[in-house]
Structure 1
Amino acid sequence: MNNTTRNSKSLAVVRDSSELDGAKARILVFAGSTREASFNRKLAIAAARAIEEAGGEATLMDLRDHPLPLYDGDLEASAGLPLGVRPLKELFKSHDGLFIASPEYNGSMSAVLKNTLDWVSRPAGDEAGTVPYANKTVALGAASPGALGGLRGLVHLRAVLQSVGALVLSEQIAVGNAASAFTAEGGLADERMQQMLRRTVARLVDVASRLRD
């Protein structure tokens, strides 16, 4: 499993098709939260491990490493894309799929996640804003202290991703009662939920591989 680090540049390199032939499906994994103790950060780590077990190559990204201003059309018009946007775009484009662990804020996704997705969707020169999402297979997850596990927020996230051209799988995972849901080793304590995570990421790796090929 690859982990992004502070100021890392190695992950923002686009691979051409010849480099991808026969390679593992590359999945970018991140949580829509910047909290150190975020339940969704724990879910993202568990998903990255499950992706590796399913035969994929996981890159674990931390949104704290990619701070962006709030989207402002006037800022974009006067100064262009902020410096942090282009590396994020390249990071999205260099992977075959995404796994997003999304916290639920007031029945929707977090502001930092929506802001990230919005900036990544902005055009860059002659390149359409939807390019980083084109042919991208996405699986969604959420973890929440509540019984529904953040399920309501995934409805909104799914709609946003589909609107920019991503293929969002029907398979997803919502982990309720998250305060006690994770083991000390980072897995899911409930075996049924762990199996659901394995099935979700196995489907993600399979579809991402097929679309890439």
Structure 2
Amino acid sequence: MQEIRLLAVAGSQRVGSFNQRLLDRAASLAREAGVEVTQIRLSDFPLPLYTPQAEASGFPEVASELKALFARHDGFLIASPEYNGSVSAALKNALDWVSRPTGAEEGTAFSAFRGKVAGIMSASPGPFGGIRGLQHLRQILGTLHTLVVTEQVVVPFADKAFDGDVLLDGPPAQFLPVLVRRVIQLAPISA
């Protein structure tokens, strides 16, 4: 049987990011369940701002590399900070580049996303835990033909929810394994 492969990415590029800590814990849970997990940092993919003009002048190699990573995985674990009630610009820009058709895909959209599954989560020092941004992320991923599981995890008051890199016990710590299990259950296995 082929092993499930998940790509884990945080929409935050901040050093010490609560969302990166949350994602690290989710990735660890997936590995404990026997899933192959590739963790990436968006800061390792210095993408130009997506515009049709930028795309027309040549698809950046770094965007091709990122798209290939998304395409090789069966599903995604995505942690997104909330910026002004939405997702971070870095995450949105990455999703925009990865969604673009290239080469033989011309005329077909969303090949790196179509039919895959995602689990989404957010951590914020505020009282809502980033839930408003997750609504936008769910909508974006759905538009890209990715099934976003109904379970999601929000970590409010994230500055008090972690002890170093450890997510302290409480509802987010209890719901995170449920989210990861659901993604694993629904992930299509690539041939």
Unpaired stretches in structure 2, ≥5 consecutive residues: none
- Corresponding residue to 2:80 among 83, 86, 102: 102
Q: Does 1:58 align with 2:37?
A: yes
Q: What residue identity is the alignment partner of 1:24?
A: E
Match of 1:164 in 2: 144
* TM-score w.r.t. length of structure 2: 0.94
Q: CA deviation at 1:82?
A: 1.0
Unpaired stretches in structure 1, ≥5 consecutive residues: 1-21
Q: What residue identity is the alignment partner of 1:34?
A: Q
Q: What residue identity is the alignment partner of 2:130?
A: G
CA distance in 2, matches of 1:152, 1:23: 36
Q: Percent identity?
A: 46
Cα-Cα RMSD: 1.2
**For residues 5-48 of structure 1, what are the alpha-carbon distances to aligned partners after superposition, in whole Å with 9 as ceiling and x for unaligned?**
xxxxxxxxxxxxxxxxx132111001001111111111111111
* TM-score w.r.t. length of structure 1: 0.85
**For residues 93-119 of structure 1, what are the alpha-carbon distances to aligned partners after superposition, in whole Å with 9 as ceiling and x for unaligned?**
111110100000010000010000001
Q: What residue identity is the alignment partner of 1:174?
A: V
TM superposition outliers: structure 1 runs of 4+ over 4 Å = none
Q: Does 1:113 align with 2:124?
A: no
CA distance in 1, matches of 2:183, 2:98: 21
Across the two proteins, how many residue pairs are aligned to each other? Answer: 188
CA distance in 2, matches of 1:30, 1:84: 16
Aligned positions of 1:1-213 closer than 5 A: 22-77=1-56, 79-127=57-105, 128-184=108-164, 186-208=165-187, 211-212=188-189
Q: What residue identity is the alignment partner of 1:158?
A: R
CA distance in 2, matches of 1:81, 1:27: 25
Q: What residue identity is the alignment partner of 1:36?
A: V
CA distance in 1, matches of 2:60, 2:150: 33
Q: SS where residue 114 of structure 1 aligns?
A: helix
CA distance in 1, matches of 2:10, 2:20: 5
Q: CA deviation at 1:55?
A: 2.5
**For residues 140-194 of structure 1, what are the alpha-carbon distances to aligned partners after superposition, in whole Å with 9 as ceiling and x for unaligned?**
000000111000100011101100111111011000110121233x331024321
CA distance in 2, matches of 1:85, 1:94: 14
